């Protein structure tokens, strides 16, 4: 149960609290926002994902959600802008997925994964809780060794460092459950603990220059992964043709 800060302070001195109220259940339709940057090959794709929902507000209290996860969406949009303005030809499609309902249990990404994607091969890179002021190494999920290593290399190219660790539940988990190889990039927990999911999650906590560096890294990584994905897809096609000839 979430309550305004003043009421929480009063309740903190209580030994027990009785809550009464009527349960109201409402159904609503959530929408994801998907954009495709076409590549040379249309048979494979890299997914760049970030959730745009947050916990919203309670009464008069607003939870801005700047770090979680306007920061990830900002990096996603800037990555798309860098590819577009640079007129960069990627070897395969780069699909930008802004997911809804992450804070409700990965609803948007799970629904996306239920759709039949028009690709033979897909990899995913998730962006969540980025750009903290004073932060050093970014955390890269340990969910795919090859992609995690490439992520750390791409970070180094733009002057950032990355550490491969076990990362908590975000939209990459929905991709993994659907057998889509995926990794996630975010700040270390000490840089957002006590900030996210509170009214304190404001833009004042963010470093715009760091976000720009991460976007440059994401663009470089998208190109690199796109090339490897297209190459793997071509090898898969060749293997299928050889198998058919045998």
Rounded to whole angstroms, the Cα distance separating 76 from 95 reads 10
> For 188, which DSSP code?
-
**Pairwise CA distance, residues 182 & 123, whole Å:** 6
Which residue, 100, 51, 55, is CA-closest to 200? 55
Q: Which two tokens stand for residue 78?
A: 């800037």
**Region at 87 (left for phi over 0; alpha for psi -120 to 50; beta for the rest):** left
- Residues linked to residue 61 through DSSP beta bridges, in sequence order: 58
At residue 241, the pLDDT reads 45
Residue range 162-169: average pLDDT?
87
Confidence of residue 2 (pLDDT cuts 50, 70, 90): low
The answer, yes or no, to whether residue 236 has pLDDT greater than 70, is no
Which of the pair, 168 or 149, is modelled with greater confidence? 149
- Using alpha carbons, list the distances in angstroms from residue 190 to 129, 132, 135, 136, 185: 12, 10, 9, 11, 15
Using 50, 70 and 90 to split pLDDT, how confident is the model at 243? Answer: very low
More confident residue, 130 or 223: 130
DSSP 206: B
Sign of CA dihedral 56, 60, 64, 68: negative
Q: What is the pLDDT of residue 234?
A: 65
Q: What is the pLDDT of residue 60?
A: 84
Q: Which tokens in the block code for residue 117? A: 């994607």
34-89 per-position pLDDT tens digit: 999 999 989 999 999 999 999 888 788 889 999 999 999 999 999 999 999 999 99
């Amino acid at each position: 149960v979430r309550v305004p800060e003043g009421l929480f302070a009063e309740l903190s001195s209580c030994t027990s609290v009785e809550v009464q109220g009527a349960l109201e259940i409402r159904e609503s339709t959530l929408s994801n926002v998907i954009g495709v940057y076409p590549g040379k090959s249309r048979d494979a794709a890299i997914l760049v994902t970030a959730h745009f929902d947050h916990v919203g507000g309670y009464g008069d209290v607003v939870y801005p959600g700047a770090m979680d996860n306007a920061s990830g969406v900002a990096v996603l949009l800037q990555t798309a802008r860098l590819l577009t303005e640079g007129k960069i030809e990627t070897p395969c499609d780069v699909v930008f997925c802004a997911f809804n309902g992450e804070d409700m249990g990965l609803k948007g990404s799970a629904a996306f994964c239920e759709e039949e994607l028009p690709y033979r091969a897909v990899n995913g890179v998730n962006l969540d809780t980025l750009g903290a002021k004073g932060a050093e190494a970014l955390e890269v999920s340990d969910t795919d060794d090859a992609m995690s290593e490439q992520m750390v290399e791409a970070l180094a190219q733009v002057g950032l460092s990355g550490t491969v660790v076990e990362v908590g539940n975000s939209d990459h988990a929905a991709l993994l459950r659907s057998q889509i190889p995926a990794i996630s990039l975010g700040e270390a927990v000490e840089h957002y603990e006590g900030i996210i999911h509170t009214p304190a999650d404001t833009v004042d906590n963010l470093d715009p220059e760091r976000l720009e560096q991460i976007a440059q890294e994401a663009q470089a990584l998208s190109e690199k992964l796109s090339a490897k994905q297209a190459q793997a897809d071509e090898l898969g096609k060749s293997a299928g043709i050889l198998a058919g000839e045998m």
